[in-house]
């Protein structure tokens, strides 16, 4: 395998949840309306994502695993208009360089599908196969050829927590898509497609959430903020149930997180971590999604206005509900 792929893999693929994220992004980009995720041993031995999306044509299968092969952008200008989740053409090549990958795919319009195997960047097999329309990617023995990475992984519980969060992010951003999550022998989620936001949230976090959810929405010429938050008095507190999305991508944003949590603090007079999901929609030109290869840290052209608007919307929603 080429050294450069292994190095790139280190940036994009840090742990099992990074694989889950990249595969889910691809299934979503492929227009799937049902996605099944199968995990074994917290993703160490198996991560499989099965979708009913577009599928991949025979002549494009090898290309998927080439560095910087993306079907999603044509020129650099497109980078600023990206609406698909993927655009770098890095993920599949990176994953294949550090794992044993089996891809099965068939386009809806084709009679025959294909099975392609690639281990540590080396092609193992490529043959016609009877498969369902859509794409299945099975990633086995992650980091089998990168001892240092393998040793760097945390406990199964921690790695699984990261996977769970990744699936939750995808399922919240796409309530129209059905998601199944199976871990070892347990069905963790079986969420039907075309759910309302409230159904999706209570389907994942528990029925008790349903009654406590408050929706909000505000639009300016620069930014649309909408989302849902939980009454801190009615839901149990749990760190890790706070979600922020920009143009459908899950992001981390310290300043915004701090701002929202401090509203809750002044509200309840104690440190609280209630559920919230905040969706920000902006012109892609106004946000730089390129600051980190894993695409999590996002920088806004005008951070201050974004914070100010979001803060006022959330405050208003809480006040209207409870004063
Ligand atoms: P990117 O998503 O940035 O384009 P990836 O390395 O993630 O790059 O994927 C490479 C290409 O493989 C994609 O552009 C897409 O054409 C194809 N691909 C990967 N996964 C799927 C899938 N589940 N369904 C359809 N096409 C896929
Ligand atoms: Mg991708």
Any residues with CB less than 8 A from the CB of 126 and at least 6 apart, and which? Answer: 61, 62, 114, 115, 116, 117
Q: 89 in ligand 1 pocket by Cβ < 6 Å?
A: yes
Predicted confidence pLDDT, tens digits, the chain (323 residues): 456 666 556 677 999 999 999 999 999 999 999 999 999 999 999 999 999 999 999 999 999 999 866 665 555 455 445 556 666 678 999 999 999 999 999 999 999 999 999 999 999 999 999 999 999 999 999 999 999 999 999 999 999 999 999 999 999 999 999 999 999 999 999 999 999 999 999 999 988 888 889 999 999 998 999 999 888 776 666 677 899 999 888 988 989 999 998 888 777 666 667 889 999 999 888 887 665 656 577 888 899 999 999 999 999 988 887 66
Q: What is the pLDDT of residue 241?
A: 86
Structural domains of the chain in order of their starting residue, each with its CATH number: 3-191 (3.30.565.10), 207-322 (3.30.230.10)
**pLDDT digit string, tens, across residues 105-117:** 999 999 999 999 9
ipTM: 0.99
Q: What is the pLDDT of residue 43?
A: 98
Q: What is the pLDDT of residue 74?
A: 57
Ligand 1 centroid–CA 315 distance in Å is 40
Question: Which residues, listed in sequence order, are joined to residue 250 by a DSSP beta bridge?
Answer: 245
Give the residue, by CA position, lying nearest to ligand 1 atom 27.
Answer: 26
Question: Are 246 and 212 contacting, i.e. CB atoms less than 8 angstroms apart?
Answer: no
What's the CA gap between 297 and 11, in Å, rounded? Answer: 14
Give the residue, by CA position, lying nearest to ligand 1 atom 8.
Answer: 89
Which ligand ends up closest to the CA of 64?
1
Identify residues whose C-beta is under 5 A from ligand 2, the ion.
Answer: 25-26, 86, 91
Question: Are 181 and 188 contacting, i.e. CB atoms less than 8 angstroms apart?
Answer: yes
Q: 87 in ligand 1 pocket by Cβ < 6 Å?
A: yes
Q: 260 in ligand 1 pocket by Cβ < 6 Å?
A: no
**pTM score, whole prediction:** 0.91
């Amino acid at each position: 395998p080429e050294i450069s792929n292994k190095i790139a893999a280190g940036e994009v693929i840090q742990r099992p949840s990074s694989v889950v994220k990249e595969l889910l992004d691809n299934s979503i980009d492929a227009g799937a309306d049902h996605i099944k995720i199968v995990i074994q041993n917290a993703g160490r031995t198996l991560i499989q994502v099965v979708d009913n999306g577009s599928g991949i044509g025979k002549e494009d299968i090898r290309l998927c695993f080439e560095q910087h092969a993306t079907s999603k952008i044509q020129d650099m200008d497109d980078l600023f208009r990206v609406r698909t989740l993927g655009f770098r053409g890095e993920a599949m090549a990176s994953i294949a360089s550090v794992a044993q990958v089996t891809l099965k795919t068939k386009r809806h319009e084709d009679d025959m599908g294909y099975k392609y195997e690639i281990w540590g960047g080396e092609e193992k097999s490529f043959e016609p196969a009877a498969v369902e329309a859509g794409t299945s990617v099975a990633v086995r023995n992650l980091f089998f050829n990168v001892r240092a990475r393998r040793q760097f992984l945390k406990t199964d519980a921690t790695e699984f927590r990261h996977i769970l969060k990744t699936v939750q992010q995808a399922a919240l951003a796409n309530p129209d898509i059905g998601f199944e999550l199976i871990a070892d022998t347990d069905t963790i989620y079986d969420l039907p497609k075309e759910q309302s936001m409230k159904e999706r949230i209570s389907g994942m976090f528990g029925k008790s959430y349903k009654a406590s959810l408050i929706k909000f929405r505000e639009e300016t010429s620069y930014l649309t903020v909408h989302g849902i938050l939980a009454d801190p008095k009615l839901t149990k507190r749990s760190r890790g149930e706070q979600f922020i999305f920009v143009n459908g991508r899950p992001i981390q944003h310290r300043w915004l997180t701090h701002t929202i949590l401090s509203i809750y603090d002044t509200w309840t007079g104690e440190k609280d971590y209630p559920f919230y999901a905040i969706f920000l929609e902006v012109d892609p030109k106004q946000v730089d999604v390129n600051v980190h290869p894993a695409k999590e840290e996002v920088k806004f052209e005008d951070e201050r206005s974004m914070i100010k608007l979001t803060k006022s919307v959330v405050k208003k929603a809480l006040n209207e509900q409870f004063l």
